[in-house]
Structure 1
């Protein structure tokens, strides 16, 4: 399976190969504190080169099976974020979950919106999905604003939905439906 790549005006979204794990490791280590409030609790082993390689191997298997698309967001040769489409379900649902993050030093410059929009367009046009779902903790105002700008609509509120940073957290549930379906 060829590795997909998406180009936007300023960015490129590419799936990393396991031999590129050091790029993922550098991004994660550089943004460890910044990302901690919005992600599951991570032990030190999570950031090791070996674990980064293992996750990239797992991502490739999921992509080959059609169950996900996992992109790193590149500005030039630097990984500045991630844009992932996981839990792809076909059949009568044709949907997935969206996850994303941006390096702290690149916040507020429109990069995340550009990357996510490029990824969504790809998922609708190239992957034929009908719905992309994204959920966020209510305190994450940046995510709320980003999803609203992208056209996501609030569909619900899930109590104790995901264990984030070691605590079960409520989430706002949103979705974007393919406007061409």
Structure 2
């Protein structure tokens, strides 16, 4: 693949581009999710087949309380990961919760760091959000490092916070606000 992708990017940096979820990305996303299973487990369970991707992407695209971004590397055009803003609350709160994952071939290359910066600019700019939160299991060192690099601050610890992989999991709560 070349530097060019058929869909116009929502945002772009020197090494990454953000694109909306599209049906045409189903096969690539599912294949990369399967190839990244060892990286993702036990933290994350992205869709590993095209049918599950269609449901997942449809929920993101159709729900006004969600924004979703596929991260593509500019050097080869491949999907590098994804970043979603979930549970967007407007009014006096103007907040959303982040969910994200890198694909194994792109992990450790700094692509998600750049892409998260693009998402933050978009969230605090055109989307008009004031605050983003990230809830991370304490042993997920890569995810904790990503939010630290992006300027998130630790806001506490929540035992039994989210039901993941058949059990209630503890999470560290991290957040960043517009103007940091």
TM-score normalised over the length of structure 2 = 0.87
Q: Does the CA-based 8 Å contact 2:44-2:101 persist in structure 1?
A: no
Q: Does the CA-based 8 Å contact 2:129-2:178 persist in structure 1?
A: yes
Matches within 5 A, 1:18-29: 18-29=23-34
Give the corresponding residue for 1:161: 161
How far 1:73 sits from its partner (Å)? 0.7
Matches within 5 A, 1:1-181: 5-40=10-45, 46-62=47-63, 65=64, 67-75=65-73, 76-179=76-179
Q: Which runs of 4+ in 1 moved over 6 A?
A: none
* 3-state DSSP of counterpart to 2:122: helix
* 3-state DSSP of counterpart to 1:47: coil
Q: Does the CA-based 8 Å contact 1:18-1:54 persist in structure 2?
A: no
Cα 1:123/1:50, change in 2 over 3 Å: same
* 3-state DSSP of counterpart to 2:128: coil
Larger helix share, 1 or 2 = 1
How far 1:54 sits from its partner (Å)? 1.9
Cα 1:4/1:95, change in 2 over 3 Å: farther
TM-score normalised over the length of structure 1 = 0.87
Counterparts of 1:142 and 1:33, CA distance in 2:
13
How many pairs were matched up? Answer: 172
Counterparts of 1:33 and 1:132, CA distance in 2:
27
Q: Does the CA-based 8 Å contact 2:71-2:83 persist in structure 1?
A: yes
How far 1:19 sits from its partner (Å)? 3.5
Q: Which runs of no fewer than 5 residues in structure 2 stay unpaired?
A: 1-7
Q: Which runs of no fewer than 5 residues in structure 1 stay unpaired?
A: none
How far 1:7 sits from its partner (Å)? 0.6
Q: Does the CA-based 8 Å contact 1:132-1:176 persist in structure 2?
A: yes
